[in-house]
Amino acid sequence: MSFYDELSKLDVDRFKELVDSRSDRDVERALAKSGRRTLEDFAALISENARKHYLDVMAGMAEQITRRRFGRCVNMYLPLYISNLCNNKCAYCGFSVMNKFKRVVLTLEEIKEECEAIVKMGYGNILLVSGENDRRGGMDYFRQVLPLVKQYASYLQMEVQPLATEDYAELKKLGLDSVSVYQETYHPEYYKKVHLGGKKADMRWRMETPDRLGKAGIDKVGIGALLGLYDWRVDLCATAMHLLYMREHYWKTQMSVSFPRLRPAAGGFQPLTPVSDAKLVQIICAWRIFDNELDLTISTRESAEFRDLIIPLGITAVSAGSSTEPGGYAHKGKYLEQWTVNDDRSVGEVVDALERNGFDAVFHNASTTYFKAAGRAV
């Protein structure tokens, strides 16, 4: 039985009621726990009562847990967009097949140029990102790309279309360390509404991807939802339930959660339930308190000021100097970006900000539990 089967037994809209019904006493109970916290505890930590009455306590607790578990090291990674070719019809995405613009799948030579530019920025932790197209951007392509990128990357991540278990096992042998696959929304009906065609319209195939990653022995798996796409209470609780499931069934797998807010992109899709800065601060604190070992990632979707504020509260991995455009490091401005970068500071500026706040930027080791500051080149 997969997580999809588990979630299908539930009316996920009931998560709204679960969150809204949490009292101050529920929040206090969740904060006081010393062992593993439950889904009900997580619901309490993201409730309005927690935000209004306990946010300062949560922030202090989250920062303390993070320093104890991860020290003062922040892992630096960079996304490398290798393709904007996509067969999916996603209402909210700039790469959707419904949007008309020049499509590209980077050649091996172009990827080499991108990697050389990335190495000059100091990075050894690279996240490969692409649209979903099996014919031109599937396994045959990845079999060529991974060995090339691995020459430049000490840690290699992917955020591409869901693959079969045997494909992930093969890519692991080629140097793949981590895979992120975001559900976008866990609400079945709304998922259908915003995924109008292509393989991504198959909710079960996508939701069972972390199961396949666990079975393939991938070291780290990233999950999450696109906040604002549907009701944040539903998607956060479902993500927490998914995390608990993964911890139980694939206990050797390191886990990461990301919490991107829906950003403007080609097509003009607007968030259904926008998530405020104050709410996102609460969400980050809730994740850290809920699971002390969890990797928490924040991208350049967020502003410079906001990222500087939230990093001490639980963040373990950040990007800087990012481009969401294929070929955007060696040849900026040639193709469409997937979404608008908000924090456009250089790598050096982000590192300086981290150091002013007493943190070390780590560029070459993405271990979830033990970061080793191996010297940076910026």
pLDDT digits (tens, 9 = 90+) for 15-26: 999 999 999 999
With respect to residue 307, please indicate whether it lies within any of the assigned structural domains: yes
Q: How many residues make up the chain in this entry?
A: 378
Residue 328: count other Cβ atoms within 10 Å of its Cβ.
20
pLDDT tens per residue, range 232-289: 999 999 999 999 999 999 999 999 999 998 865 545 677 788 899 999 999 999 999 9
pLDDT tens per residue, range 299-315: 998 999 999 999 999 99
pTM score, two decimals?
0.93
pLDDT tens per residue, range 36-67: 999 999 999 999 999 999 999 999 999 999 99
pLDDT tens per residue, range 106-119: 999 999 999 999 99
If one counts the domains in the chain, the total is 1
With respect to residue 167, please indicate whether it lies within any of the assigned structural domains: yes
Q: Please name which of 185, 247, 188, 260 lies closest in space to residue 221, comparing C-alpha atoms.
A: 247
DSSP letter for each residue of 189-253: HHHHHHB-SSGGG-HHHHHTHHHHHHHHT-SEEEEEB-BTSS-HHHHHHHHHHHHHHHHHH-TTS
What average pLDDT does the structure give for the chain?
91
Which CATH number covers residue 164?
Answer: 3.20.20.70
With respect to residue 377, please indicate whether it lies within any of the assigned structural domains: no
Greater confidence (5 vs 86) lies with 5
With respect to residue 368, please indicate whether it lies within any of the assigned structural domains: no
Alpha-carbon gap, residue 79 to 127, rounded angstroms = 4
Alpha-carbon gap, residue 19 to 23, rounded angstroms = 9
With respect to residue 206, please indicate whether it lies within any of the assigned structural domains: yes
Backbone angles phi, psi at 67, to 5 degrees: -65, -40
**Residue 334 banded pLDDT, cuts 50, 70, 90:** low
With respect to residue 374, please indicate whether it lies within any of the assigned structural domains: no
Query: Domain range spanning residue 127?
Result: 3-362
With respect to residue 223, please indicate whether it lies within any of the assigned structural domains: yes
With respect to residue 373, please indicate whether it lies within any of the assigned structural domains: no
